[in-house]
Amino acid sequence: MLISDFGGVLTTPLAESFMAVQDEVGIPPRVFGMALADLTEKTGLNPLFELEMGKISEAVFSERLADGLEPHLGHRPVIEKFGEVFFEALHPNQGMIDLIREVRRDGLRTAMLTNNVREWEPLWRQMLPVDELFEEVVDSGFVGVRKPDPKIYELTLGRVDLAPQACIFVDDLEINCEAASDLGMHAVHFRETAQVRSEVHELLASHNAG
């Protein structure tokens, strides 16, 4: 089975979307990250991670982020439509969508494993034919655990009833790939579509040969 991440793999890079949000709210470069780091230090919880695990709503996240940004900006920013602005700057990566279709046509099973936000589900589902491409979707916002926690990989393997060794995992974050490798999956670190295409085909060929 091929298990794919969503953001930054099936889409254009997320950095462009974070920049779009920063432009919209009027946040200078690096301040967004500094605000999140301050909040994490103060509470022991990263609000972005809490959001991705469905522990807080997008509205609460926006308020916490405003709290963290206020000392850096000297005023309290109004953060509205974070998700909408974020997704406006995000586009499907057609090359990866084509690869998913190809491997499915060749008989490989496919699933998606994403760190995401509950409120954003309608936004990402609009971007690609999810139900055509994947038999299973595991979304951190709904299962309450996020990559790189091994629990979310184990939950995914349980749902598709496969051993980790039977799965190729593709993600643009190295830390998520390392967690998959530690469990015994064949991890492919996404850097560009052509590289993933060739690594996936190599893995499939060696698997068939073996």
7 binds Mg ion (CB under 5 A): yes
- Write the CB contacts of 42 (distance below 8 Å, at least 6 apart in sequence): none
52 binds Mg ion (CB under 5 A): no
Residues within window 147-186 making contact with Mg ion, judged by CB under 5 A: 172
92 binds Mg ion (CB under 5 A): no
Least Cβ distance, residue 190 to Mg ion (angstroms): 8
The nearer residue to Mg ion, 7 or 77, going by C-beta atoms, is: 7
Least Cβ distance, residue 139 to Mg ion (angstroms): 13
- Calculate the alpha carbon distances from 126 to 3, 33, 59, 203 in Å: 20, 28, 22, 31
Least Cβ distance, residue 166 to Mg ion (angstroms): 22
Least Cβ distance, residue 93 to Mg ion (angstroms): 11
Residues within window 101-130 making contact with Mg ion, judged by CB under 5 A: none
Please tell me the distance from the alpha carbon of residue 59 to that of residue 139, in angstroms, as a whole number.
19
Within the chain, residue ranges assigned H as helices are 14-25, 31-43, 47-52, 58-73, 82-88, 94-105, 121-125, 130-133, 140-143, 150-160, 174-183, 193-209
Binding residues for Mg ion (CB under 5 A): 5, 7-8, 172
